[in-house]
């Protein structure tokens, strides 16, 4: 089953009255449920723009985007926001934690922004995730008081709190030492294999990309290669 599909997608940005920059050109991409995919490319290749469209953070200028076979073109901003909140969990290079909030409060943020009535106890799930990721006892700590590796594990717990279909990780090891980076990649492996989550990692690092079973190479806004590694 297709979890997300991009068909003939273009993304253009107007720089001034006479110049238009095309960040994505005729992108066709389909990711099925349970896949582990890396989107790989150098700086300026369009991989971040592609990530924003896959993660529903931005829309296509031209072309169509389908989530679970449903075309999202007709959805308004509120509907897209609501879908994004339940469909995708984000893990960013910079962690994007809020330093004035406790670890527990950071993990609970997506539940606060939810537009739907939750069918689970948010705090109970958050505490379970903290325990699973080796962070038990850190509930009332603040992000700037724990290590980078621990911060990224908090970010992964936050990404999972709404039990999304898709985990979208943008350079998840970029700010970590090799040991912490390996631990984070092992967690992503586990989420894919044990939890059956669809995982998409955006990276320029070949070693990180090769942890996935499929690598999509992008350059100059176009997919130039789409291959399976395992």
- Contact 1/30 with Cβ under 8 angstroms? no
Q: pLDDT (tens digit, 9 = 90+) per residue, 62-105?
A: 999 999 999 999 899 989 998 998 899 999 888 999 999 999 99
How many whole angstroms separate alpha carbon 136 and alpha carbon 122? 16
Q: What is the mean pLDDT of the chain?
A: 93
Using the predicted structure, report yes or no on whether residue 166 has a pLDDT greater than 90. yes
Q: pLDDT (tens digit, 9 = 90+) per residue, 101-125?
A: 999 999 999 998 877 788 899 999 9
pLDDT bin (cut points 50, 70, 90) of residue 165 is very high
Look at residue 128 in the predicted model and tell me its pLDDT.
95
How many whole angstroms separate alpha carbon 87 and alpha carbon 165? 5
Query: Architecture of domain 35-48+76-228 in CATH?
Result: 3-Layer(aba) Sandwich (3.40)
Nearest 5°: the CA angle 222, 55, 216 is 35
Count of Cβ atoms closer than 10 Å to residue 123 Cβ: 13
Domain boundaries, the chain: 35-48+76-228
Look at residue 15 in the predicted model and tell me its pLDDT.
84
Q: pLDDT (tens digit, 9 = 90+) per residue, 190-209?
A: 999 999 999 999 999 999 99
- Orientation of helix 148-160 relative to helix 122-132, angle to 10°: 140
Name the percent of the chain lying above pLDDT 70: 100
Tokens coding 209:
């990309």
The model's pTM is 0.93
Look at residue 93 in the predicted model and tell me its pLDDT.
86
Tokens coding 53:
């469209």
């Amino acid at each position: 089953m297709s979890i997300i599909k991009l068909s003939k997608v273009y993304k253009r940005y107007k720089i001034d009255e006479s110049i238009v920059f095309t960040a994505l050109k005729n992108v066709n991409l389909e990711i099925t449920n349970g896949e582990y995919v890396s989107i790989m490319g150098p700086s300026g290749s369009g991989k971040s723009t592609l990530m924003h469209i896959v993660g529903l953070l931005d829309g296509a200028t031209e072309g169509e985007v389908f989530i679970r076979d449903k075309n999202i073109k007709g959805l308004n901003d509120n509907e897209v926001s609501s879908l994004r909140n339940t469909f995708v969990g984000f893990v960013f290079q910079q962690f994007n934690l809020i330093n004035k909030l406790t670890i527990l409060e950071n993990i609970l943020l997506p539940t606060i922004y939810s537009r739907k009535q939750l069918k689970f106890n948010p705090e109970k799930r958050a505490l379970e995730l903290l325990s699973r990721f080796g962070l038990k006892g850190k509930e009332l700590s603040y992000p700037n008081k724990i290590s980078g590796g621990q911060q990224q594990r908090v970010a992964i717990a936050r990404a999972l709190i709404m039990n999304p279909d898709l985990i979208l990780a943008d350079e998840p090891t970029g700010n970590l030492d090799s040991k912490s980076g390996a631990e984070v990649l092992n967690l992503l492996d586990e989420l894919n294999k044990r939890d059956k989550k669809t995982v998409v990692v955006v990276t320029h690092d070949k070693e990180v990309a090769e942890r996935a079973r499929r690598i999509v190479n992008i350059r100059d806004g176009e997919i130039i290669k789409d291959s399976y590694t395992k």
